[in-house]
Chain A
Amino acid sequence: MLTKLSGGMVYDPMHGVNGKRRDIYIRDGRIVRKPSANTNIDKIIDVNNKIVMAGAIDIHTHIGGGNINIARMLVPEDHRADPVKRTKNTRAGSGYVAPSTFTTGYRYAEMGYTSCFEPAMLASNARQTHLEMADIPIVDTGAYVLLGNDDFFLRLLSKGADQQLINDYVAWTMHVTQAIAVKVVNPGGINAFKFNQRKLDLDDSNKYYDITPRKILKTLTRALHDLGVPHPLHVHGCNLGVPGNMQTTLDTMQAVEGLPMHMTHIQFHSYGTEGDRKFSSGAAAIAEVFNKNKNLSIDVGQIMFGQTITASGDNMMQYKAHVHAHPNKWVSMDIECDAGCGIVPFRYRDKNFVNALQWCIGLETFLLADDPWRIFLTTDHPNGGPFTSYPHLIRLLMDKSFRHDMLLSLNRHAQKVTNLASIDREYTLYEIATMTRAAPAKSLGLSGYGHLGIGANADITIYTDLKNKEKMFERPEYVFKSGQLIVRKGKIQQTTSGITHTVKPEFDRGIERHLKKYFDRYLTVSLGNFKISDDELRSYGKKTIKIHACQ
């Protein structure tokens, strides 16, 4: 079947197309060339003057796995307030800040998102992560496996293992957990917490292994670079949420000596200690270094006011944060000599100085970072706020007067210390398309995604151009997933199953000799059962595994 999307205004930053009227042709799930004049077109959809972009890609959203499922379990009140009925083509569900899996998929698709990446898959919990993602309909998924707090890695490092062995281990882990990238969370800190250390700055040593976060970051960024994994090390740095952590962040930015690195939810790592309240914005200083260092990419982790729940592998810092739990219940776990998890419900209040300033810091970061190819739009769902707040966030970025009005409603002390009011920048549609489509696809190495070129997977979102960008982005006119019409006027038309994105770098299988000994001696799962085969992964429900190329 050949479908023509006729007359839309196309924003396709991968090809430098900035609001040009173009027809798009879809056949067999892909974008194809304009057919010859005598070819029969089965369906023509008039999208005259509508805004046409590739399907959006969320590069960092906690949608599947043990952490988010404990979060779901912890807050029945969140689900009671937001029940989701079954319809003839959608499953029932619930939840607002920690929605059920089906609801997650529908709500992403309804906003025009077609791929979502879970950034914190514990290797020891990889099955659960993939099982949950298999129950997230429509959107494609992928996961970043956590390394850098597991005892195997830290032992290797403390014994001075050579980089090649580390690389083999990293690649092996990506293979057996079916990952697309690697993330490190509070490098070495989750492990140090198990030995009762409460803080681990960039050059502090894990007291058992005598390894610093700096060493971990250098080793892992090198490994991913050597292996040619497209997405660089995804770094949740030290000292999350601690006033004064901006210096750690600035030091971290320089710690990898020019190798590629992605620093995630950087808003939570951009706090200074100036002023009467010893809490200030580090966004300007961090944006300045970011702008100069082209090896870096970031996502923001914008906070949104209201109730949410924070779910993180970083139980060292989440333990600290539990005193702010709202409602007052929280979970922390040490997990499998691998990593941990910390779940703390939280309410961001616009009249609270710290929360208001956090909001400002996120927006300052967005507006001061000058390259939308290296900065991605996230709220670190659900940590800064649920992903359903993205349209609101896009409006804040695109509409200066709206942003200013919002600012004026916040805590007054926060208004005084932020420079947000003096920033005039408004993101353009082209920049939004870059930040939410082209750039994440490029960063993850998703060939055939995030653009509208010939041969691309036909993940396409079509909006009516409205002045109110929140309204525009929350309810696309059409969403196509692999060429199939999924959403019309914000309503799901049919549900499909997305695919799993992975990369599988080459490595020396000899690493399993070391691992077998380690597993038999110390762990509680056999090496063979740790691995998730392609067949097993497919049996969960997502039938296609796409292996993207290493570079």
Chain B
Amino acid sequence: MRVNIIVSYVHRTLTHDVIQPAQKQACFRYPFFSYFMAPLNQSKTFKDVTCPFCSLLCDDIVLNNQSGGLTIRQNGCPKAVRGFQRQDPHIQPTIHGKESTLDEAIAHAAEILGKARQPIITGLGTDVSGSRAAMSLAEITGAIVDHSHGDAAVKNIMVLQTSGWMLTTLSELKNRADMIIFIGTDGHSNYPRFYDRFVWQQDSLSGLKKNAREIVYIGNKLKTLKGISPDGKKPTVIKCTDESLGETVSVIRTLLNGNDITSKSISNRKLSDLKKLSGRIKHASYPVFVWAAGELIPAHSELTIHSICELVKELNKSSRAAGLSLAGSNGGVSFLNVCTWQSGYPLRVNYTAGYPHYDPYNYATTEVLGKTEADAMLWVSSFEADFIPPQTSIPTVVLSRPSIKNALDAEVYIPVGTPGLDHTGNLFRTDNAVNLPLKQVRQTGYQSVSDILSRIQDRL
């Protein structure tokens, strides 16, 4: 496939200037990658780097920048390797797939968003300052704001806003959890270093020993190998279908509350297995129940999460227990927090009326686009280059990590820097308590989402 993208090799320093017109221009075949870090032939090592590519935010990464190419030296995982070591193509902004200057692209984006009667700003794979800039732009343009992980997030939010919960954080889990019950998630498929960093530790603040934890999985087709302790103790696995996860949790909840169940089997499980498990949960000092809203089947997830949270509350009447939600990668937890402190609501807010109006269902991106209730979309994805915006016929402005695919398809495309690689920033961790700083570990000249959005806003 020939693409009409002009790729330049320009080495630029990080300034807030407009991206200069390419000094050398040439057409290349897709796929194209270039090294373009300046200065060349220099090597620098960065320690304590925070990885922004999942919401665990591992901040012990050691990486090397050799002439602009990043290599993880210590503490990586497949996600980190893919994220840090991707060699971003050096591309220009485009309008209708044709290269433009940054100024032109910003002006055109401002025109689209300024003219729109109901824009939607979504995706929002960005850091705290990118989210802040998006909120500001949403206010000015009367937009709806949502996040790419909104469908999963809203399941948690509905439980929170209906009945609340008792949660814990990663350091607490690491130091206190003598039993970890994974429900519908194995914990590591989407969060690769969960066990290495938080579960199989040498020692803990509460005297909990390395092999002392009991790991339990409830669910279907979970990868349970990581749950084997260093001394070979196997985890307990309660198999049940995705659809019967909520039921299984409810049965455990019923048993923990001392109520009787007459049926001998539940979801093809012998009740006696669940009774044994309940007994052990009851005797644990600090069992933690882990779920990942995005890994549960949508039709059941809210009820399942609700059952887990109520179970945890009830356990706490006499002993301690806590929940832990794994969620909010792609800047999700950050967006929910910023949106909450600025608007009062966590997501799916519409500023058309001049004030934030919250509707967790009708302002979902898929709903809004499906019913053609928006007439322009701004899609932001600064961590993942090829996170493609949902299909729509309305004019679309895309800000993403440099992506040739996005550059071809959007009405306006602006490549942006990745937080934690190309510029500093902050992100919130999955546990919604810790916020970590991001470092700048290379220089590409790509501006941050917040810079670009502020410049769009200045044109309005």
A contact residues vs B (CB 8 Å cutoff): 64, 66, 69-70, 72-76, 78-80, 83-86, 91-95, 98-102, 122, 124-125, 127-128, 131-132, 135, 151, 155, 193-196, 208, 319, 325, 328-338, 343, 521-526, 528-529, 532, 536, 539
Contact = CB atoms under 8 A, between A and B. Distances in A.
A194 B286 contact: yes
A66 B433 contact: yes
B155 interface: no
B261 interface: no
Nearest to B321: A196
Name A's interface SS: mixed
B160 A124 contact: no
11 contacts: A73-B161, A76-B344, A83-B353, A100-B344, A122-B433, A124-B434, A127-B436, A131-B128, A151-B205, A521-B202, A524-B198
Interface residues of B, number: 66
B165 to A, nearest CB: 6
A409 B157 CA distance: 39
Given A329-B163, A522-B204, A335 B356 contact: no
B437 A127 contact: yes
A334 B436 contact: no
A122 B169 CA distance: 13
B342 A524 contact: no
A208 B336 CA distance: 36
Contact of A79 (B129, B136, B206, B358): B358
Given A72-B341, A101-B341, A135 B351 contact: no
Contacts of A83: 353, 355-357
Contact of B433 (A193, A333, A521): A333
A331 B342 contact: no
A135 B169 contact: no
B320 interface: yes
B286 A92 contact: no
Given A73-B340, A76-B345, A524-B197, 20 more contacts: A69-B337, A72-B340, A74-B160, A83-B355, A94-B343, A102-B342, A127-B436, A135-B132, A196-B285, A196-B320, A329-B161, A329-B162, A330-B164, A334-B168, A334-B172, A522-B204, A525-B436, A529-B50, A529-B436, A532-B437
Contacts of B163: 328-329
A541 to B, nearest CB: 8
Question: Counting chain A CB atoms within 10 Å of each CB, which of B168, B428, B434 scores highest?
Answer: B434
A332 B166 contact: yes
Contacts of B176: 194, 334
B160 A92 contact: no
Contacts of A124: 169, 171, 433-434
Contacts of B171: 124, 336-338, 522-525
Nearest to B205: A151
B346 interface: yes
B342 A101 contact: yes
B102 interface: no
A128 B337 contact: yes
B48 interface: yes
Nearest to B436: A529
A128 B354 contact: no
B164 A329 contact: yes
Contact of A529 (B48, B128, B355): B48
B435 interface: yes
Contact of B435 (A93, A128, A522): A128
